[in-house]
A and B are shown apart, each in its own frame.
Chain A
């Protein structure tokens, strides 16, 4: 936001707030729920040898799949 204001294409000051007010009620609740669910998942699948990997492990183990859809899966 600071970048846009320095380059001179700054929207009216209320624009960001407007956007937040309009989309906030739509976007924020699922976002918060997502964070909550990821947290619960993380806690449930914590420990030494979990049956399912926690989110952090998924990101770490499968980063190649996530970052590059065209890569061949890790062996």
Chain B
């Protein structure tokens, strides 16, 4: 485990990046699907409401059993943590497209694909980024906790290892690192959202 703190963080960030990206893709795609289809929304919503309350770490054993490897299991935990806020916010954003904009689309007889790109997506974008911002914070919470349990590499493991070896100063430094990285992640998504949504003018 003789890697620097930066490398440990890098490992954790890499896992978060993979799991979070998967969650964003599935969350936005799924959110648009259930947001535009009432029947699908009614069918899925109860499941989402129950599944999203399951704490991230509770998924870890089942992931370990299914994947039998630490790496995909950690990524799965990130995914399953981050997907719900993105999914639910996207669905709400799609459902909340103002009637005014829908009416414009109807009177112009805007083709579906064009409606999607010029009205639905820009209108839902603020909601999607709200979900993505909640999700990135949760992902970071989850990865640190997951790595404490799985061991091997990552900042979570480093913290746990420091504790076990009574290296309390290292532990405190690591905590500060975790906090700063979490802060940077949150701001990164915030500014990304701001850049995208503002270039759209909303």
Same assembly: yes
Q: Are A51 and B65 in contact (CB under 8 A)?
A: yes
CA distance A37 to B46 in the complex (A): 13
Q: Which of A26, A37, A51 has the most CB of B within 10 A?
A: A51
Cβ–Cβ < 8 Å partners of A26 in chain B: 42
CA distance A33 to B62 in the complex (A): 22
B45: Cβ under 8 A from any A Cβ: yes
Cβ–Cβ < 8 Å partners of A32 in chain B: 43
Q: Are A51 and B66 in contact (CB under 8 A)?
A: yes
A29: Cβ under 8 A from any B Cβ: yes
Kindly state the interface size class of chain A when it binds its partner: 10 to 19
Q: Are A30 and B43 in contact (CB under 8 A)?
A: yes
Interchain nearest-CB distance for B59 vs A (Å): 12
Q: Are B44 and A33 in contact (CB under 8 A)?
A: yes
A47: Cβ under 8 A from any B Cβ: no
B39: Cβ under 8 A from any A Cβ: yes
Q: Are A33 and B65 in contact (CB under 8 A)?
A: no
A52: Cβ under 8 A from any B Cβ: yes
* B interface: dominant SS: helix
Interchain nearest-CB distance for B63 vs A (Å): 10
B47: Cβ under 8 A from any A Cβ: yes
**CB contact list, A6-58 vs B, under 8 A:** 25-26, 29-30, 32-34, 37, 51-52
Kindly state the interface size class of chain B when it binds its partner: 10 to 19
Cβ–Cβ < 8 Å partners of A30 in chain B: 42-47
CA distance A33 to B45 in the complex (A): 11
B187: Cβ under 8 A from any A Cβ: no
CA distance A51 to B66 in the complex (A): 5
Cβ–Cβ < 8 Å partners of B62 in chain A: 52
Interchain CB contact (< 8 A) of A29 among B42, B65, B68: B42
**CB contact list, B60-101 vs A, under 8 A:** 62, 65-66, 68
Q: Are B68 and A51 in contact (CB under 8 A)?
A: yes
Interchain nearest-CB distance for A73 vs B (Å): 15
CA distance A33 to B47 in the complex (A): 9
Which 4 A/B pairs are nearest by Cβ-Cβ distance?
A29-B43, A33-B43, A29-B42, A30-B46
Which residues of B pack against A, CB within 8 Å? 39-40, 42-47, 62, 65-66, 68
Which residues of A pack against B, CB within 8 Å? 25-26, 29-30, 32-34, 37, 51-52
Q: A29-B39, A51-B68 are in contact. List 18 more A-B contacts (CB 8 A).
A: A25-B42, A26-B42, A29-B40, A29-B42, A30-B42, A30-B43, A30-B44, A30-B45, A30-B47, A33-B43, A33-B44, A33-B47, A34-B47, A37-B47, A51-B65, A52-B62, A52-B65, A52-B66
